[in-house]
Amino acid sequence: MADWDDVAKVARDLEAAEEGTSYGNRAWKVGGKLFAWERPLRKKEVEALGGFEPDGEAPAGPILAVRVADEEAKEALLSSRPEIYLTTPHFDGHPSVLIRLDRILRADLEEAIAEAWACRR
């Protein structure tokens, strides 16, 4: 499974990618545009998901947010791998998806970050 060191390595290897912060959390941008960022759940989001796992659906582990091409791409990820990809009402109508970092395979992480980078380039 992946961790923040994996995220940083994958993102840094992309052309013109820069690491910084967004709202005090780690973030990666290309051309000044955010493509991947650390995104802890907010209290209202945890409540909307029925609390933390195992009783609710809110992951207790680290969460990475990435941009996606559009709402169709977002829905495809959400429906194909709900154990890895999720969203909250905060992201309704926004082309981003949340990733349970401790559940995603390195190869899938690389693909998600590369696609996010390509969307923002």
Q: What is the pLDDT of residues 11-32, one digit of tens each?
A: 999 999 999 999 999 999 999 9
Where exactly are the structural domains of the chain? Answer: 4-120
Q: Which fold has domain 4-120?
A: Aspartate Aminotransferase, domain 1 (3.90.1150)
Q: What is the pLDDT of residues 48-106, one digit of tens each?
A: 999 999 999 999 999 999 999 999 999 999 999 999 999 999 999 999 999 999 999 99
Q: What is the pTM of this model?
A: 0.95
Q: Tell me the three-class secondary structure of the chain, residue by residue.
A: CCCHHHHHHHHHCCCCEEEEEECCEEEEEECCEEEEEECCCCHHHHHHCCCECCCCCECCCCEEEEECCCHHHHHHHHHHCCCCEECCHHHCCCCEEEEEHHHCCHHHHHHHHHHHHHHHC
